[in-house]
Amino acid sequence: MRGVDDTGVSLVTAVDTPVDVCFDGRRIWTFWTRRDTEAPSAPSWAGDAAKAWPVRVAHWPRPLRQHLHGRSQVTVRDSVTGRVYLDETVSLGTVTSTGTDPAPILVRNKRGVDLGIDKSGRLVPTFAGRSDRDIAALLDATEAVIGALRSAGIDPFIAYGTLLGAVREGKVLGHDSDADLGYVSRFTTPVDVMRESFQVQRHLAAEGWRITRYSGGAFKIYVTEADVTRGLDVFAGFLDEGRLHLMGEVSTPFEPEWIHPLGVAHLDGRPMPVPARPEKLLEATYGPGWRVPDPAYKFTTPRRTVRAFDDWFRGTQPNIRYWDRRSHHGQHRPLPDRPTALARRAHVVAEKLGADVLDVGAGRGSDSLWLARQGHSVTAYDYAPYALEPAKALADAESLDLDVRRLNLAELRAVLGEGTRLAHQPRPRVVLARHVVDATSGVGRDALARLCSMALRDGGQLLAEFYLPGQGGQSWMVGRPDADAFTALLEKAGARRVIVRHRRRSSGREYVRVVGVW
């Protein structure tokens, strides 16, 4: 190791191995010395040696950077052997003082809960810093969800990192941040597996569980344990022609007797259901080296498996991992105080029509919150609604009329279900859709028009803005949205008049504003 600075960790290595980065003795982040590093340009004084400059840098993960201000004892150690490569006091970022001493670096959320980087690169409450009481609360929640799933007619078992912790170490993994459950359906075709999964979800929802669906074969159940709300993932699987397909990552040759009858493994002293041959599932998931700890392990799902799961279960979830990760990363930033120009226009139109506001693709909800503060009844929709929770909390504290709902424009059943609910509550509405047309697929653009045809039957307007191809340059842009094609969709959906205006931001990027009048 060469050192630690505001950029990251600098090192010289010829091998690829996982290393932990600890602040004051607590693991914060794990990276692989070659996979997760890059070789920066050699300094000018290196001369001829620049061609073989050996230094590599592991840059600090973006969500971690905001916490790196102060002083800490930084330890870099081998994840497997514990060998210490660096152990020194380091000052990072802007260093302030508490009394006569520099302020320590505290990687915590606003509630004082310790955070760490998980295997997906998110900064989340991990188990390493939790007390026995906290772990017990997690296990209580896991047992409750297992009981609820059994009451819905399926036979769940712990899976992925939760199974790995139970079998390899007898406890939850310190670097893990959630709990995973799986089950193998009695059905053998994807469509029947999906139907069963939705039936299970409806059963759980009727019992009061809060649920977010990932795909046709996976959903998340939210539970609050101690002072942390976590999501327990539930993955459907099925056996067909000698292969196990388990949502998430696994498609492998498998024998039915390796799953059933379920066995038992202990997780921090609690008996948990596991497959009959758990080592078979762990090897299929993590490879033959699953017995060796690797907090930075990354799944490398074969392309064949990804395509199969996309075709069977995930075709209606384009870019969901990107938006889910983005919603988590942006949740702790303060909401903008100023509304967008489109939100101000929606306010004027809604006041004139006496209309409710539907904010489709609301993001973090700053426009939705502002509109609610102006006295409007607002429904904020988003594909990844986790980021809307701070806006919803502020609205509840101020007794504002703001509802938050998940909406996936790429899923026909979701659009028809929400559209039917709105059509049965006739009233004038303003639909706000800022950068939705350019962030969804052609299927999603068609669905947005369909939703407007159902929501605006009693009158109202759609206010939409989107970048044209080649203008936005944003990684989230999908396909090639076209103003004329979108106009045709709105007219087909019943719009009496469509107004299209091409505009340009101060940055020079061209965008389109479309107003559809019903």
If asked whether residues 152 and 283 sit together in one domain, one would say yes
CA gap 12, 55 in Å, rounded: 5
Cis peptide before 261 (omega within 30 of 0): yes
- Give the dihedral of Cα atoms 288, 292, 293, 297; nearest 10 deg: -30
Q: Which residue range forms the structural domain that includes residue 208?
A: 127-315
The answer to the question of residue 120 being in a domain is no
CA gap 500, 157 in Å, rounded: 54
Q: Extract the tokens encoding 220.
A: 């998340």
- Tens digit of each residue's pLDDT, the chain (518 residues): 788 999 999 988 878 888 889 999 888 888 888 888 888 765 555 555 445 557 889 999 988 998 999 999 999 998 878 899 999 999 998 877 666 677 899 898 877 778 888 877 778 776 665 667 778 878 888 999 999 999 999 999 999 989 999 999 898 886 666 789 999 999 999 999 999 999 999 999 999 998 888 788 999 998 875 556 677 899 999 999 999 999 988 999 999 999 999 999 999 999 999 999 999 999 999 888 888 877 666 667 888 888 888 889 886 666 666 777 667 665 667 788 899 999 999 999 999 999 999 999 999 999 999 999 999 999 999 988 888 889 999 999 999 999 999 999 988 888 999 999 999 999 999 999 999 999 888 889 999 999 999 999 999 999 999 998 776 556 677 777 899 999 999 999 999 999 999 988 877 788 999 999 99
If asked whether residues 464 and 413 sit together in one domain, one would say yes
If asked whether residues 354 and 468 sit together in one domain, one would say yes
Q: Extract the tokens encoding 160.
A: 């992925």
If asked whether residues 270 and 373 sit together in one domain, one would say no
Which H or E run includes 421? helix 412-423
Contact (CB, 8 A) for 34 and 13 = yes
Instruction: Please tell me the predicted confidence (pLDDT) of residue 50.
Output: 47
Instruction: Please tell me the predicted confidence (pLDDT) of residue 325.
Output: 67
If asked whether residues 363 and 503 sit together in one domain, one would say yes
If asked whether residues 60 and 183 sit together in one domain, one would say no
The answer to the question of residue 280 being in a domain is yes
Q: Choose one of 72, 107, 142: the last residue of a domain.
A: 107
| Sequence-distant (≥ 6) Cβ neighbours of residue 440 within 8 angstroms | 318, 409, 410, 447, 448, 478
The answer to the question of residue 116 being in a domain is no
- Residue 415 maps to which CATH number? 3.40.50.150
Which H or E run includes 250? strand 250-253
The answer to the question of residue 320 being in a domain is no
If asked whether residues 216 and 269 sit together in one domain, one would say yes
If asked whether residues 70 and 16 sit together in one domain, one would say yes
